[in-house]
């Protein structure tokens, strides 16, 4: 059982995809203020204008929170989620704007004292990943960084749901997606270890 917050001040870095996959992997609830368009039986949508997570949802022990992009200050729901969660995940891409947004997000959530993981998401070239890690560590010091290469796995989970994710098989050309799922799960397992210490 773990509660995780997936957050970034920048949109388009794969935050919702990572949150949804992590919720599917842990069989947890996916709690968001975005329009729920995914095929997840445990998806919960909170109204955008709510300042805090409603009590019924804040009591869920196995949950992944995804509350849209923040800006220069921490959103009240995000602040509430930092108090509830066991670990914080900040997704980023390798481009300079995404890296800068990750640094700013890190500084916004760091006062929570919770373990923070940065996931460099959707990268293709290893040297771009290495450069991004180096930039993050040169500004923030030693921190936990994982990588998830470009994949269609996120889209398939959103479209086909938890059952499909749990039963990816080698038929119908899904061998590569199954290999990708295994690589993702290594990252998710590390996040779970941090969140359950």
Domains of the chain: 3-195 (3.40.50.300)
Looking at residue 79, its pLDDT comes to 87
pLDDT along the chain (197 residues), means of 10: 91 86 88 73 81 90 82 77 94 93 93 94 86 95 86 57 60 62 80 84
The span from the CA of 152 to the CA of 161, in Å, is 13
Looking at residue 104, its pLDDT comes to 92
The CB-based long-range contact list for 100-105 (8 Å cut-off, 24+ gap) reads 101/8, 101/9, 101/10, 101/13, 102/8, 102/10, 102/13, 102/136, 103/136, 103/139, 103/140, 104/9, 104/72, 105/7, 105/8, 105/9, 105/10, 105/70
Looking at residue 50, its pLDDT comes to 82
């Amino acid at each position: 059982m773990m509660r995780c917050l997936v957050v970034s001040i920048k949109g388009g870095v794969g935050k919702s995809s990572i949150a949804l996959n992590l919720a599917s992997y842990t069989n947890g609830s996916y709690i968001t203020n975005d329009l729920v368009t995914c095929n997840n039986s445990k998806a919960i949508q909170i109204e955008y204008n709510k300042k805090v997570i409603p009590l019924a949802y804040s009591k869920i022990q196995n949950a992944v929170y995804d509350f849209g992009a923040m800006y220069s200050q921490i959103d009240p729901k995000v602040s509430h989620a930092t108090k509830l969660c066991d670990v914080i995940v900040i997704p980023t891409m390798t481009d300079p704007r995404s890296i800068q947004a990750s640094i700013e997000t890190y500084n916004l959530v760091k006062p929570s004292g919770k373990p923070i993981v940065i996931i460099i998401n959707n990268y293709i070239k290893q040297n771009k990943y290495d450069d991004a890690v180096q930039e993050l560590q040169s500004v923030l010091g030693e921190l936990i960084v994982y990588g998830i290469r470009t994949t269609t796995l996120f889209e398939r989970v959103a479209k086909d749901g938890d059952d499909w994710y749990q039963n990816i098989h080698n038929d119908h050309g899904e061998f590569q997606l199954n290999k990708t799922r295994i690589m993702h799960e290594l990252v998710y397992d590390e996040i779970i270890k941090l969140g359950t210490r």
